[in-house]
Chain A
């Protein structure tokens, strides 16, 4: 992949979001209830806790051509299962380092905290990450057919 090879006009990144049932999924719901508009690039998968997300999910998603993966969880200290999000945070850091080492842009994997009342924050994150990923080239890993 050549760095200058931007997708050009019309490139719309596809983003996978893992959201935990108790906080971030509810925050996403609130964004909906509040009719906060955002780019339609993301798809949410609900898990009970952000700590359910194993690194292989992220790696699979990116290696199959999804442009970005977000893990959203409760703010540290607020996890419904007390410690889950601490695990997420630690795994997230490790995974970020690994992905960067593999040459994957840091914007493509992020861990963020969204509480159930932060509808606006969810919308902002979707907006922000969509913008970041648009500025990168489409994620077409080596060997991926077009």
Chain B
């Protein structure tokens, strides 16, 4: 009997011949990703009574959630994080403006095939787009990893999702994953490792694969993964500590076996998929865009760890270039990283978006978590490229968030109401 990706990685890291779902293993993660919560994790770490972190090279720290600091409290938290970084000799620290942790992590070479990454953020599975085993944990757990360098993990069952067909114009990875979450529901992949496979996934860019893995968290996945191929290796070239041949060897080693045992295999054909929208207030409340066309909106958000990448900004610019957003609508644009912002400036994408009426915000999480840079008032409606639309998520609990692709939200910004991007 063969093994899944998750079984292979966890067996290797635990020093075991093989493992089975349900087994609990202790592993030493290659990377521990933390963000603005680092100051609180450092406080918990000190409470344990240890003075030095187990391994400074494990830590990747990115200030992204409320950056630049929105208040004195946030500023003090950032300051405490910088002090912890200096005191512990942590090199992989990325201060405000570098970008969102899930984007900066791979950009700076901290994700690779077969790596075990734990992060104190629920969207840590995003790094599965590089065939890393990446799972979210809480702050206390991050403090314990800081002190001990190790963590217990339950070997997950694996859900394999196979995608067939070519995506229609103006339909993207975001529409695919919204459709899947609407189908499988918010707990459809609870505790599971989710493998995304099939020719549709192989044809996707790294950005598209990151969208799938990022949002697998919204159906409860422990981690998500796309098999590493030449697209992955090209993207990673020159970013990690290893040469492409080494990465290619690891990609092959951790690839799921053809006879691996899956809890479930689900197949979708995306050839006729329409743009999808998640309605308030849950991510699995998904309908085709045609069912909500005409819904009045106040704010549009393009960015976040889900859809703040170059091809997302480009998709929006293709729709907005030379035009202007509807009066009464606020368009917020946040590139996911400094690298993406620079590339978008070079290509003229930023100029196109700003000329069309966009308010450009710094790379970071922005208003996604309702702390700053575009919170909503009672009764207001935002259509966003983010991954969550829970009640109160973006400010008022009486506000409404719809989730959609960059193309759909750009088309909506033009119209002042939710619009179908295929008709622009």
**Binding between chains A and B:** no
Instruction: List B residues at the A interface (Cβ < 8 Å).
Output: none
